Structure 1
Amino acid sequence: MLTHRLATPADLDALRAVMARAIAELQQGFLDPAQIAASRAVMGLDTQLIADGTYFVIEEAGAGGVKIAGCGGWSHRATLYGGDHSKDLRDPAPLDPAVDAARIRAMYTHPDFTRRGVGRMIMTLCEDAARAAGFRRAEMMATLSGEPLYRACGYTPIEHVDTPGADGVAVPMIRMGKDIARG
């Protein structure tokens, strides 16, 4: 059974491990190997989300203990995407729920848990929390591998972007949005 909780600083190493596997394995078939390698420059953990209390961990308990099945969060800050290491993408300015869209951020599913509802669970948690904070819209910067899930959750493309990644390799991404005013 999958459960959820807010992430804590004690989760950092485990979250980074899940993200590394997800980036390496789940983008295959959507990006070429150079793009996957380059995407590490623009993807990853933003610890501000944990500090803000807006980052969720999805877990499954089993015979081998508790395993992280996925993670993801939302933000009331202007940063649309990027991890701690991508300083040029970060903007900690607060958003105004009356006019701005909440940000859906850093969603990753452990490759052993794909197609088990982890992504939808994270989306529901994020949208409900953002709505409770007064936001009426949500936006994200989606990977090509994440786009099918986000479309299924009601997100529509706003723009296609080639994001500069490592070694000058562009990483294709899609800015997507959704009206979340009605639950």
Structure 2
Amino acid sequence: MGYGFFRLRRAVGCFRQNYESKHPYASFKDLAHIQALISKSARILQAQYYKKSEIEAALELVRGIEELIIAGSFLVAEHERKIIGCGGWAFDVSYPRKAEIRGFFVHPDFVRRGVAALLLNTCENICLRRGIETLYLTATLSGEPFYKKHGFLNLRDSIGICQMDRLLN
């Protein structure tokens, strides 16, 4: 299973060889590209699970990317200097050993090529180094199989979304 030749921002080499992510963090200059990626990803990849009106309403609720960028907890993956994936985490102020996985989106042309897996793995490793023991998230129906594959368990299902968590080792 090859990952292709995309990389985290300023990573050295490609994922298949010499993967070393030192500075994959998003910046404010990326924000317009990130927002375009989120819109395209949601509208295309969620179309088989949700009505168009539900997708548009959900897009209105995607917030907090700016705060994640400020906190240094939002990552981007690139291919040929274009952002093809993004995602990050937010520390839970109520529970210091927990973090929420947030804002994971992949360009439709790069689905099932390891982009989200690499972003998630990088988030997990950073969180582990910072003392986080549990990650949690709210998954859409289109994202649920991905997160289950990566060890997240359903806590509860709501209308069209799934609350999930995973203990880090």
TM-score, length basis structure 1 = 0.78
Asked whether the equivalents of residues 90 and 100 of structure 2 are also in contact (C-alpha less than 8 Å), the reply is: yes
1:107 aligns with 2:104: yes
Question: Identity over aligned residues, as a percent?
Answer: 30
1:40 alignment partner in structure 2: 59
Measured against aligned partners, the alpha-carbon deviations of 1:64-121 in whole angstroms (never above 9, x if no partner) come to xx111100001114xxxxxxxxxxxxxxxx24434xx211000000111111101101
**One-letter amino acid of the counterpart of residue 174, structure 1:** C
Q: 2:85 aligns with which of 70, 80, 87?
A: 70
Higher relative contact order (CA 8 A, sep 6+): 1
2:20 alignment partner in structure 1: none
1:21 alignment partner in structure 2: 40
Structure 2 segments unaligned to the other structure (5+ residues): 9-23
Measured against aligned partners, the alpha-carbon deviations of 1:23-71 in whole angstroms (never above 9, x if no partner) come to 110101111222112211222552110000010000112xxxx111100
In the alignment of these two chains, the number of paired residues is 150
1:1-183 residue pairs with structure 2 within 5 A? 1-4=5-8, 5-44=24-63, 46-61=65-80, 66-77=81-92, 94-98=93-97, 101-162=98-159, 172-180=160-168, 182=169
Q: Distance in 2 between matches of 1:36 and 1:96?
A: 31
TM-score, length basis structure 2 = 0.84
Cα pair distance change 1:53/1:155, threshold 3 Å: same
Task: Calculate the aligned-residue CA RMSD, in Å.
Answer: 1.3
More strand per residue: 1
**One-letter amino acid of the counterpart of residue 22, structure 1:** S
